[in-house]
């Protein structure tokens, strides 16, 4: 395509059906806004831009949690959508106090994502389409509105090494009735300690704590 001067016309291809025209600059922008938490391309968000602000809020709260102690270090390992909600995985070395704050920030993002359209950020709800779950507004929802609230109870387990031994550092379960997480005894779940601690991730990273394993108990409420 040429204009009257004979020079090629610059054009940018933008897909109107994809959020932000298919550009995902926002992911790199988050990483540059929080260089202390990201080592790109590792950990860059792999979800829709509607959750951008949830991720930014969580990162701001995580940074604040780390500032209390210079020995606290944390890097995001993965940020993605699974079963229609936002998961944030990290690894690092944190004081117990900082870890609690980090977990609360990630839990909050998880809870908010369940009612926020992943595409545009407006109010959303759970949709089911060909076996996939997504959280979307009426405009972006594909398939059918799920006829249930999130019925699967999610458990968040943070594991790490204490006194040289891999251990479960915290275990919290989502309560759909109260829309919050609460501490739960690991032993009360039908998940084997060996099984959890021997997951690939913990073998690869035997040293620092590693959080963000959202395991499902398989029980329905």
Q: Single out the residue of 157, 182, 193, 179 nearest to residue 85, CA to CA.
A: 179
End-to-end CA distance of the chain: 60
Cα 127 vs. chain centroid, distance in angstroms? 18
Structure tokens at 47: 């979800």
CB of 135 to Zn ion, least distance (A): 9
Tell me if 54 contacts Zn ion by CB under 5 A.
Answer: no
Using CB under 5 A as the criterion, what x/- string covers residues 129-168 for binding Zn ion?
A: --------x--x----------------------------
Tell me if 109 contacts Zn ion by CB under 5 A.
Answer: no
CB of 21 to Zn ion, least distance (A): 15
CB of 119 to Zn ion, least distance (A): 5
On the 0-12 / 13-18 / 19+ scale of CB atoms within 10 A, 157 is buried
* Dihedral Cα 174, 176, 177, 178, nearest 10 deg: 50
CB of 197 to Zn ion, least distance (A): 39
User: In the complex with Zn ion, which residue's Cβ is closer, 133 or 197?
Assistant: 133
Return the bridge partners of 125, or none: 136
Tell me if 119 contacts Zn ion by CB under 5 A.
Answer: yes
Tokens 């897909």, residue located: 15
Q: Total residues at the site for Zn ion (CB under 5 A)?
A: 5
Rounded distance between C-alpha atoms, residue 74 and residue 210, angstroms = 9
Tell me if 117 contacts Zn ion by CB under 5 A.
Answer: yes
Tell me if 105 contacts Zn ion by CB under 5 A.
Answer: no
Tell me if 120 contacts Zn ion by CB under 5 A.
Answer: yes
CB of 126 to Zn ion, least distance (A): 13
CB atoms under 10 Å from CB of 29, counted, come to 12
Return the bridge partners of 84, or none: none
User: In the complex with Zn ion, which residue's Cβ is closer, 72 or 135?
Assistant: 135
CB of 190 to Zn ion, least distance (A): 36
Q: Write out the residues near Zn ion by the rule CB under 5 A.
A: 117, 119-120, 137, 140
């Amino acid at each position: 395509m040429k204009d009257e001067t004979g020079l090629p016309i610059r054009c940018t291809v933008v897909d109107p059906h994809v959020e932000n025209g298919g550009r995902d600059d926002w992911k790199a922008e988050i990483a540059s806004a929080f260089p202390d938490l990201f080592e790109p391309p590792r950990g860059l968000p792999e979800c829709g831009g509607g959750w951008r602000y949830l991720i930014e809020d969580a990162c701001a709260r995580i940074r604040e949690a780390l500032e209390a102690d210079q020995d606290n270090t944390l890097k995001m390992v993965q940020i993605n959508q699974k079963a229609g909600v936002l998961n944030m995985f990290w690894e690092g070395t944190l004081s117990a106090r900082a870890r609690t704050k980090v977990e609360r920030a990630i839990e909050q993002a998880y809870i908010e994502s369940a009612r926020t359209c992943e595409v545009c950020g407006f109010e959303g709800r759970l949709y089911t389409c060909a076996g996939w779950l997504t959280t979307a507004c009426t405009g972006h929802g594909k398939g059918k509105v799920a006829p249930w609230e999130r019925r699967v109870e999610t458990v968040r387990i943070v594991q790490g090494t204490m006194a040289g031994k891999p251990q479960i550092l915290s275990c919290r379960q989502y309560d759909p009735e109260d829309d919050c997480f609460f501490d739960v005894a690991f032993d009360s779940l039908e998940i084997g300690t060996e099984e959890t601690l021997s997951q690939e991730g913990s073998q690869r990273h035997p040293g620092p704590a590693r959080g963000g394993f959202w395991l499902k108990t398989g029980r329905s409420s």
